[in-house]
Amino acid sequence: MSQWFSRMACVVAACVVSLGAAAEVLTAKVTGGQVEGVAANGIVAYKGIPFAAPPVGALRWKNPQAVAPWSGVKKASAYAPSCMQDAAMLQFMQAPPGLSEDCLYVNVWTPAKAAGDRLPVMVWIYGGGFAAGTTSAAVYDGTRLAEKGVVLVSIAYRVGAFGFLAHPELTREGGKTSGNYGVEDMVAGLAWVRDNIAAFGGEPRNVTIFGESAGGIAVSMLAASPRAKGLFAKAISESGGSFAPSRTGAEGGQLVPTLATAEALGQQFFGKLGAANLAAARALPADAIQQAQGPGLGGGFWPVDDGDVLPGDQYVLYTAGRFNDTPVLIGTNSDEGALFIRGGVTSAAFEQQIRAGYGEHAAEILAANPHATDAEAVQAARNIFRDSAFAWPTWAWATLQSQKGKGAAYVYYFDHRGPQSPNGASHADEIPFVFRNLGGPGATPRPADTAMSELVATYWVNFAKTGDPNGAGLPAWPKFTEQNQQVMFLDAASSARPVPNVAQLRALDAYYAWRRGQAKNH
């Protein structure tokens, strides 16, 4: 009898395992063919699904084209190569080696038990200064965030010269625009999500785009791009935003070049390549282009104000009500500039830099950023980097969204501190907390870290589900309004408080208003 019970127990266990395995979305039919994922601990991961044709050969510097169909079932078990960039950046991001122009792939992590589950969808757009970035960085693994009840997708896009090179020949070829191939990749990836995510148990009408740094800037660009209209329902930007006027020279705090400015850079780059024309540049190997761009985040390539994909100064567009109106959750970190300004700044050098870049508003900006000693100047340089690159665009975005949009704006200030960041949270410090990927080999997170990660991830997922981060047991997070500018401080006593660094932000606001006036008069 005991043997019979043992055999029955085995049968029951086998049935439970079988039922558990069946209650997962292990295969999916997508644009191009069938794909098969890998199941582990209730999450099915699909890696390396193509969403566009490889942008190689004649397709280099062209908008993403339709994916080529395949036969049979494609095993989606490994990340595709990262887009071309400095290989050292992959090591820095703890991503597997492997670079290629053939890099337009998505990854999906789904907790769905059936294709009809219609779970909220979160689509990650990586950062890296638009010169680097990858979906395969360890910290971007979507397993732990998907466990909270969302289908997570990450999209690859071309970076550097491959993604953002403009040139008069390319503009003529494209009809009226060039230089935004990386942004077009994001749009194509979002169209793929719209068309295919239901097969993974996701709800295509409930898509939240989220990204950090260049990825957060890209989120704001998609929020203003007619190309992305209707492709997402909510937006999260971590240390991002693009609300400064377009750049024509070396204006302080302005990053998006006009098409003419970007085309001039492209002509210089062709000269560096020794390419007489577009055909010659397309014939060069990818490594030659990458080498000419240079190491790290060099090269100077950035999305372009082309009047089409990016139709102009986003501040002006929002003021006119010309944007994709959705709820937004946006914010910055307390010591963003620490990653970029490591020291070596003197008081005199800081003052000279501000006077050179900020014109007649330099004195006001200098007054808002004490720099009498060299130690103060280092912190001032960090702060002006934080505020011009991240905090002012976020503040401007939240203000404009609350003024002009129907979707609510929620703003955060991440100031979680630890042994590695005693003076405040540096750039990108929040990412492992969002993805619930704390620690690393041999590293055990502190209880305070784990608690912060659960708080942040819960806020993010609540927002993805409903457009409101609030929920039971969480500190109340009020909407940001022009009259009540409250932000959620994420720190040792997380709560809503007034906007920090407001004197510096107001000084920059006056500067950017002056720059917009100058641009309008030219």
Q: Which of 24, 169, 427, 494 is catalytic?
A: 427
Q: Which residues of 455-493 are buried (b: 16+ CB within 10 A; e: fewer)?
A: bbbbbbbbbbbebbbbeeeeeebebbeeeebbbbbbbee
**Can you tell me the distance from the alpha carbon of 223 to that of 377, in angstroms, rounded to the nearest whole number?**
35
Active site residue 402: no
Classified as helix, coil or strand, 411 is strand
Structure token digits, residue 47: 């890696």
Is 238 labeled as catalytic in the residue annotation?
A: no
Q: How far is CA 498 from CA 94, 176, 480, 482, 489, in A?
A: 36, 44, 10, 12, 9
Q: Which residue among the candidates 101, 238, 251, 336 is catalytic per the annotation?
A: 336
Quote the Cα angle for 70-76-81, to 5°. Answer: 95
What is the Cα–Cα distance from 368 to 388, expressed in whole angstroms? 13
State the angle between helix axes of 392-404 and 214-224 in degrees (0 to 180), rounded to the nearest 10.
30
Q: Which residues of 381-391 are buried (b: 16+ CB within 10 A; e: fewer)?
A: bbbbbbbbbbb
Distance of CA 86 to the CA centre of its chain: 19
Task: Determine whether 77 is an active site residue.
Answer: no
Measured CA distances, 117 to 112, 196, 197 (Å):
6, 14, 11
Residue in the block written with tokens 């971590």: 238
Question: Can you tell me the distance from the alpha carbon of 175 to that of 234, in angstroms, rounded to the nearest whole number?
Answer: 31
Q: Which residue shows structure tokens 């912190």?
A: 379
Calculated CA dihedral for residues 212, 216, 217, 222, nearest 10 degrees: 150
- Catalytic residue, chosen from 178, 213, 334, 426, is 213
Q: What is the residue whose two structure tokens read 């006036």? A: 517
C-alpha separations of 285 from 35, 281, 292 in Å = 31, 9, 11
- Active centre residues (catalytic): 213, 336, 427
